[in-house]
Structure 1
Amino acid sequence: MRPLRRPFRLSVVTAATTVAALTAVTGCTEKSSAGADGVIAVTATDTACEVSKKEFPAGHVELDIENKGSKVTEVYILFPDDRVVTERENIGPGTKQKVTAEVKEGEYQIACKPGMKGDGIRQAVTATGSGKIAERDPRLDKAVASYRKYAQEQADETIPLVKVFAEAVKDGDVEAAKKAYAPSRIGWERTEPVAESFGDIDPKVDVREDGLEEGQDPEKDWTGWHRLERSLWQDGKLTDRDSALADQLVTDLEDWRKRVGKAEITPTSMANGAKELLDEVATGKVTGEEERYSHTDLVDFKANVEGAEESYELLKSVAAENDPELTKELDQQFAALNTLLDKYRADKTGYDFVSYDKVGDAERKELSDAVNALAEPLSRLAAAVVK
């Protein structure tokens, strides 16, 4: 999991006013409109978030992003209530990224987050028109419906597993809690972009200690899986606070389960979400930062890949017609990465993987190369879907 995404707390009413204030204070400025109607150039620096236009037609929109700052950044299109329309994370200094999104008529914000922390530097933007996307291939509507069902099933199946984990924590049974920890995270890891689209759930359940914001106290403000992971593997004991944290984890994930059905899901958000899952692997799992105490990173790794592949398979029939070479490459790269991951299974069908601290530098490099080989073509899936 990347550093904490702190909940965006702007109301619908105050959003435009707040962004105007940010413009004056941070140098978030509007450039003259340029390029095709559906393309918005976004120039991110450490202190500014410039957009080429503040008004554009509703429909398929492409963000053409360049990071001219010194910090890694991420860029979002946000609804007024701060739900995420689309995002692109881990945009390194001096690099460019493109992301395609489906945007209905209405008011939005484009946010850049230098350092990938805080509320970001924001621009208020407007999508104009009828509010209707051009008539969509029925196969894409079916893909969205199927993915929504998949995401709900993953959430539903997570709750009983989390309850087993929480009960073990509350019983003070360290070994039973360790055994239940990784399985309780699989459904979340498969569908993490859906959970992150709400903005406020992810920081409660999946933040690491180094993802806490300045001023937050790890002993008071840190909650979720990774706080309990530290107690189990580093401290080797469970306290009354851990029991309370276990109950809170169940409560927060029940909230997630209830909200999954309300998530904004489009073909492009599915495709972009698949890329986000590979980014999660590249920045957390391959490095060993995600599960730094338990070393169960490969379980998360596999779940992220499965979630990305589910989205891809649902969109594949349309993408294959529009860009057959892309789908051919994606098939090959998914197969190669899954084959590589199988090398680290203790069994060939379940989720009993080798402890990641036993995986050497050369093997980690091999895994990283396989992830990067898949992530690049996967970044082009959204554009292929809407051609």
Structure 2
Amino acid sequence: MRNRIAALLLLLLATQLGSLVSPAYACGCGAMVPDGSTRIGVSRETSAVHWDGRTEDIVMRFTVGGNARRAAWIMPVPTRATVELGDGDLFHELDRLTRPESRARYHFLPDSGDWPFSTGSRDGAAEAPAPGAGAPVGVVGREQLGDFDVARLTATDPDALRQWLESNGFTMPDALATEVRPYVDQKWEYVAVRLAPRKQGSVLYGVLDPLRIRFDSQRLVYPMRLSRMAKTPQSLGLYVLADHRMEPASPIGGSAPKVTFAGKVAGTDELAPLTGGRETFLTAIDQEFPDPGRISGDHELRAAASDTPYRRAVYHDELLMVGGFPAWMLALGAVLVVVAAGTLVWLRRRPADAPDVPAASGAPAVPDAPAGPPAGPPAGTA
């Protein structure tokens, strides 16, 4: 029995260790893999996308977890791209602009959170030219941007692309060649990024510095196909800045996209690098991908049927008050006053009760003679 228990414990330990060293890759825009036997997971990807009908500008930020000190990811782009570091204040400003509106929802009668039962309140919460026929892999440029080692590539052979990445320190999964085939056929280019913290011994954890990628595009497209390789559910948040309210053409295998904000916003200082300081329409979209293997392609966004504004609302339940007093208490007091006044009026209008004198049985009642002077003696009496 002891041997069986020991074997079972060893089996469970091996299973847990296997889950720790197995690579967890993929993010909303491309593939991400850790270095060696470490692990990394992208729990959230948030991107701000500006499109003016000709040029697409993407600022992306990853929230990651794990114990990897190095990792790499690749993002396909339809045309030649420029890459630079983004500004983290952009997302703080977008969060502020799309913050839910706080509204009060009043109730007349007290409930468990109101006096006299208790005090306090409770809250409720009610979207460059294409490469020519040359070498299988061409290096357009390579830069070191903060913690990012960025290579911009062209490729006419998916296997050659994977081999180049591996020979240059970008370890990628074997399935990458299969997943990038549609991009190779369409003559897309690629942005390959190695993430390595400059601080010695640091791990890739938390919110990473944003990266800004800009390219020409006649349609608003957000690459998602490589997220099919993800092993865990994915979460995507998109802030779309364009001339009109935008919406995904299809859910591409995820849950129905949810619009969390839609409306025109001014060109603030934080948005100016994307919008040029002009007023634009902002659409905030959230989407979940419980089963990344079902992702069928890239997100293509289009103008919605109308520019209907929308903002979420968070309701705060409050007891209805009038002049600093609960309305129900004032109403109850008014009812008591009315009842008291009505009772008093009724009592005053009721006639006074007179004593009743019953008549003798069988004899008619004789009316009382009028009072007069007493009678004197009969005439002629001495």
TM-score for the superposition, normalised by structure 2: 0.21
Return the structure number with greater relative CO, CA threshold 8 A, min gap 6.
2
Answer 1 or 2: which has greater helix percent.
Answer: 1
User: Which structure would you say has the larger Rg?
Assistant: 2
